[in-house]
């Protein structure tokens, strides 16, 4: 079992171009969970028709004498920690089940805008911010998963603090930072990244009227990873992210379990 796990981690890291031919032991990698749990407090877009629901089907002893529990759940695609598939904002985009697995397992690039967002809830990442990150850390590799650290995950699951407004059914008063259009074009069109992730509710900022970042990403088959957490525990570079969604056939998105592996 141990040998299998070592080989698995080696393959994952190799896919992100971070390994030599030598396998890496799990003892040398620290996992970080980037996912909020799904439950009654999970946040969804204000216009979503429902939230996360868990129905108990069985819980207790069986006639045979053993314990058994089982549940049914229901939820919109876009809420909690989740993936936006390209078809979410592009008619010819890939659906959730069509996103290539190697696009979801890749080197992580973490861009920290906490200082800028702290005084401006509507702050949008700029192309200059991306260039400044590269001057300090080196070129963003092709296929990378870019993670935007705003610090907003500390506000979860307080809807008003996290979204900027908690009016049911109204998404016009939201305020939270995210990517700007110029930064998105640089990352998607020029750096050719595989995913844009963020620790807020959208890869577009709260006051968007056209969801331009979604459009830019989706038209290039780039996925969005939204409502992430624990990004502050990751280095600016050097981690590998596994962003594995529920494989919903034909889905425009899906609940996501995202994990980062950090060399010890």
Q: What is the pLDDT of residue 9?
A: 53
In the predicted structure, residue 12 carries a pLDDT above the cut 90: no
Q: What is the mean pLDDT of residues 83-88?
A: 98
2's CB contacts (< 8 A; 6+ apart) are none
pTM of the model: 0.91
Under the banding of pLDDT at 50, 70 and 90, the label for residue 11 is very low
CB atoms within 10 A of CB 259: 15
Give bridge partners of residue 188 from the DSSP assignment: none
Tokens of 194: 């595989």
32-58 pLDDT tens trace: 999 999 999 999 999 999 999 999 999
Catalytic residue among 88, 175, 214, 232: 88
Coil, helix or strand for 190? helix
Under the banding of pLDDT at 50, 70 and 90, the label for residue 25 is confident
Q: What is the pLDDT of residue 22?
A: 46
User: Position of tokens 């969970």?
Assistant: 33
103-133 pLDDT tens trace: 999 999 999 999 999 999 999 999 999 999 9
Q: What is the mean pLDDT of residues 82-88?
A: 98
178-226 pLDDT tens trace: 999 999 999 999 999 999 999 999 999 999 999 999 999 999 999 999 9
Q: What is the pLDDT of residue 5?
A: 47
Q: Nearest Cα to 103, choosing from 253, 238, 231, 223? A: 223
Q: What is the mean pLDDT of residues 20-32?
A: 72
In the predicted structure, residue 21 carries a pLDDT above the cut 50: no
Q: What percent of the chain has pLDDT over 90?
A: 89
Does residue 232 have an active-site annotation?
no
Task: Determine the CATH number of domain 2-48+77-263.
Answer: 3.50.30.50
* Rounded Cα distance, 157 and 134, in Å: 33
Q: What is the pLDDT of residue 28?
A: 86
Name the residue ranges covered by the structural domains of the chain. 2-48+77-263
Q: Between the CA of residue 149 and those of 34, 49, 197, what are the distances in Å?
A: 12, 29, 9
Q: What is the pLDDT of residue 26?
A: 78
In the predicted structure, residue 8 carries a pLDDT above the cut 50: no
In the predicted structure, residue 19 carries a pLDDT above the cut 50: no
Under the banding of pLDDT at 50, 70 and 90, the label for residue 1 is very low
* Rounded Cα distance, 86 and 94, in Å: 5
- 6-29: string of b/e by CB count within 10 Å (b at 16+)? beebbebbbbbebbeeeebeeeeb
137-176 pLDDT tens trace: 999 999 999 999 999 999 999 999 999 999 999 999 999 9
């Amino acid at each position: 079992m141990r040998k299998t796990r070592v080989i698995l981690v080696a393959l994952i890291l190799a896919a992100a171009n971070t390994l030599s031919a030598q396998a890496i032991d799990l003892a040398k990698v620290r996992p970080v969970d980037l996912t909020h749990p799904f439950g009654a407090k999970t946040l969804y877009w204000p216009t979503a028709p429902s939230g996360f629901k868990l129905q108990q089907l069985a819980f207790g002893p069986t006639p045979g004498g053993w314990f058994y529990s089982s549940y049914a759940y229901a939820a919109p695609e876009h809420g909690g920690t989740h993936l936006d598939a390209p078809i979410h904002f592009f008619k010819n985009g890939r659906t959730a089940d069509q996103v290539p697995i190697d696009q979801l397992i890749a080197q992580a690039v973490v861009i920290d805008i906490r200082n800028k967002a702290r005084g401006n809830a509507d702050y949008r990442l700029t192309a200059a911010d991306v260039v400044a990150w590269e001057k300090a850390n080196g070129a963003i590799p092709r296929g990378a998963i870019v993670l935007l650290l705003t610090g907003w995950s500390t506000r979860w699951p307080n809807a008003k603090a996290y979204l900027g407004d908690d009016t049911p059914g109204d998404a016009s008063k939201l305020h939270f930072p995210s990517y700007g259009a110029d930064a998105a074009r640089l990352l998607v069109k020029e750096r050719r990244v595989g995913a844009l992730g963020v620790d807020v509710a959208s890869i577009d900022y709260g006051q968007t009227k056209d969801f331009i970042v979604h459009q830019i990403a989706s038209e290039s088959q780039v996925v969005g990873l939204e409502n992430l957490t624990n990004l502050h525990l990751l280095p600016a570079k050097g981690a590998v992210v596994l962003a594995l969604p529920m494989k919903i056939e034909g889905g425009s998105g899906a609940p996501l379990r995202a994990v980062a592996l950090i060399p010890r």
